Amino acid sequence: MSETSSSAHDPEPPIRLNLPPLSPSLFDAEPSELQQPNGSAVRNSSDPSSPTSSGYAAEQGSSTATIVTQVEEVLHNEIQEITIDDPQPLSHSSRLPGKRHSDEDDASISWRRRKKHFFVLSHSGKPIYSRYGDEHKLAGFSATLQAIISFVENGGDHVKLVRAGKHQVVFLVKGPIYLVCISCTEEPYESLRGQLELFHGQIIVILTKSVNRCFEKNPKFDMTPLLGGTDLVFSSLVHSFSWNPATFLHAYTCLPLAYATRQAASAILHDVTDSGVLFAILMCRHKVISLVGAQKASLHPDDMLLLANFVMSSESFRQDFRSIFSCLLATVQCFGISDDTYLMLLTTSSDAFYHLKDCRISIETVLVKSNVLSEAQRSLVDGGMRVEDLPPLPYSGSSHLGQHRLPSDSPERLREPDCGIGGAAGLWHFIYRSIYLDQYISSEFSSPINTPKQQKRLYRAYQKLFASMHDKGLGPHKTQFRRDENYGNYFFVLGSVEGIVLLCWVTQDFELYAAFDPLADKALAIKTCNRVCQWVKDVENEIFLLGVSPFSW
Amino acid sequence: MASRRRMLLKVIILGDSGVGKTSLMNQYVNRKFSNQYKATIGADFLTKEVQFEDRLFTLQIWDTAGQERFQSLGVAFYRGADCCVLVYDVNVMKSFDNLNHWREEFLIQASPSDPENFPFVVLGNKIDVDGGNSRVVSEKKAKAWCASKGNIPYFETSAKEGFNVEDAFQCIAKNALKNEPEEEMYLPDTIEVGGGGRQQRSTGCEC
């Protein structure tokens, strides 16, 4: 689609993007999708206090008045127990475009052994999407899923989760669109459900809520042709469920930049928001450089994730970076500015195409004269915070977790020299989420978390911890925790998960998730968390977008 | 592009218990027949790819339970059907008499936009039994009923011998396709902003 093509602003024939293969280099720290680690890798069977070790059933049922069925033996289409031997990891270059294994169906052993399935079907039981296999060949399976959902609905109830051996079947009904995830990854129910929510959000980003009206008018409505060519968008989204913390943190992350540089970018964007543009978002890969919103408008971090995923997985955009296209069919315009950097302009008006184009030109003109783009490139190369660079904590009276303060001749000094692996006191990695800003910062991966498999394992461990922290039904009593009476803060130690000690610290302002060497001293680890928080505070001007809060809560 | 895409047709099979709905489906999809009777519990689903006039499409066949105690799927089951197949046993008068009930039940539950022209197909099954000697519903009688309901196509079949099964399903597919409405233009919404319900969600940080 060329920039001047008038069809791009014409809402009538749905704009379909022809989306060829995803370039794996798009994402930071992206493990190959084919390198699914063995399911056992994320199981924490060694940890009886794990938040997922007991069912969610009772809690869910009582709090929401919907049922959760626990079925030990499987459904109509039984899913076999898994002894995984996923295909050999392929190199990036041999990665196939779009959906893989489209020859499979529910009779294939290989299909049944897949660790995580995603299905989308219509309320009449017609298949819309399956992560693996051919949708049409899975029509019977799709009908079975619909029958299960409908059967429960007929009883005035809703099915949310079915457990079948190691498998969880998670259902999400969104009007006429049914979404189902079947997984043996042992991710918490809440995480899987959140992933289905994002999946649905991605459909709406592409097709808008008009799909609901189409189903109302015609239950036979087939939306698959409207999704033609978007396989990559969905496979990229599913992939991000195992590498992008934004998918469970519900927060966005910024590209580290000097405060002045980000201010300059914001000022440039700000000029267009007075002219009917709701949001102007300047992004570099999946990280935000700056975003400016009109007053009283709100944009959820999840929506930013979905928009960015859509742009990033659209090869037409990648190949010809100066091309433009619309998603949300004409209300969002994306413009490539330079390699990796793109601008998204959101408006409520569907015929603002030319206006947006003018906005883009004026923004681009100023941007290229500024140092923003070159600074962004440099930041990409340099990376963000590294645990090795964690500065020592100067003594401060406001230390948050003071109970375990160590004498100056503590073993810390003895330990410091052997921290060639990771950072101080065996710190391997951390994620800091600012609740007020809806932003997070994740440290760069470094040794020993340096393979995609280990990164995914760590990611899943964080996700599990996050879910347990935010699940009121389960409550923190499942984990070892201590309440700091002086500050009203919660501090959690989630024992060793597959050789990683995780710590989580939640206050009203932030959440800190940190991963440590399993031999790390607990007291030291706690102290290190303090240092991390101080460090984040010290550099918050560079790692967060401050001042403007586009989110109205 | 639209004409090239594969279509999926939802076909629902209805009829009294034991008239051979599952057997017909099995004969059609798997070319197999078993004399043993196993009641369908709830529903069973099979798919078959069919080529018709240069177009490839998939039949998603919903085989229902004839026994009333299993009929609990309701509206959702019938929703979005492209064709409804009514089956009776030519050797059992009651199963023929009940066709009316099945047809009406379908029209009520599925409430298709144009009930007069919704595609039904009637199958008189088990014509092989006892060499036709135990037959109680004549072809003439069945055809008269079909004619009175808006010329529903009628086939006499034997699931056991595979007689007429293929032809019947070809007709089912053809009729289901005919009923497909013209594709409407897809008009997208614009985004909602401001006071939407989304903003409250997910922060969950009261701890």
Q: Is the pLDDT of residue A92 over 60?
A: no
Residue B134 to residue B146: CA distance in whole angstroms: 22
Q: Which of A146, A124, A77 is nearest to A105 (CA)?
A: A77
Tell me if A219 and B77 make a contact (CB, 8 A cut-off).
no
Six token digits for residue A59: 């809690």
Interhelix angle A189-207/A452-470, rounded to 10 degrees, is: 100
pLDDT number for residue A223: 86
- What is the maximum span of chain A, computed from C-alpha positions, in angstroms? 75
Q: Is the peptide bond before A411 cis (omega within 30 degrees of 0)?
A: no
CATH code for the domain defined by B7-200: 3.40.50.300
Segment A477-499 shows an average pLDDT of 49
Chain B interface mutation, best of A103, A122, A146, highest count of B Cβ atoms under 10 Å: A146
Residue B199 to residue A549: CA distance in whole angstroms: 13
Q: A42-46, B22-26, B86-90 — which is least confidently predicted?
A: A42-46
Kindly indicate whether the ipTM for this predicted assembly is greater than 0.85, answering yes or no: no
Segment B182-191 shows an average pLDDT of 62
Q: Which of residues 377-406 of A touch B (CB under 8 A)?
A: none
CB B64 within 8 A of CB B71: yes
Strands A324-327 and A500-506, sheet pairing: unpaired
Between B148 and A87, the more confident residue is B148
Between B38 and B203, the more confident residue is B38
User: DSSP letters along A126-189, please?
Assistant: -EEEESSS-TTTTHHHHHHHHHHHHHHHHTT--EEEEEETTEEEEEEEETTEEEEEEE-S---H
User: DSSP letters along A228-258, please?
Assistant: TT-HHHHHHHHHHTTT-THHHH--EEB----
Segment B145-154 shows an average pLDDT of 95
Domain boundaries, chain B: 7-200
Instruction: Select from B58, B77, B199 the Cβ nearest to the Cβ of A552.
Output: B199
Taking the Cβ of residue A508 and every Cβ of chain B, the question of whether any pair is shorter than 8 Å is answered with yes
pLDDT number for residue A54: 31
Task: Output phi, psi for A528, to 5 deg.
Answer: -65, -35
pLDDT number for residue A48: 35
Task: Output phi, psi for B22, to 5 deg.
Answer: -65, -40
Domains identified in chain A and CATH numbers: 31-242 (3.30.450.70), 252-382 (3.30.450.30), 387-543 (3.30.450)
* Chain B residues with beta carbon closer than 8 angstroms to that of A552: 199
Tell me if A151 and B72 make a contact (CB, 8 A cut-off).
yes
Task: Output phi, psi for A50, to 5 deg.
Answer: -60, 140
Instruction: Select from B7, B60, B202 the Cβ nearest to the Cβ of A140.
Output: B60
Task: Output phi, psi for B10, to 5 deg.
Answer: -95, 120
Segment A269-274 shows an average pLDDT of 81
Q: Is the pLDDT of residue A374 over 50?
A: yes
Instruction: Select from B77, B181, B207 the Cβ nearest to the Cβ of A150.
Output: B77
* Chain A residues with beta carbon closer than 8 angstroms to that of B184: 214, 217-218
- Amino acid identity for residue A424 in this structure: A
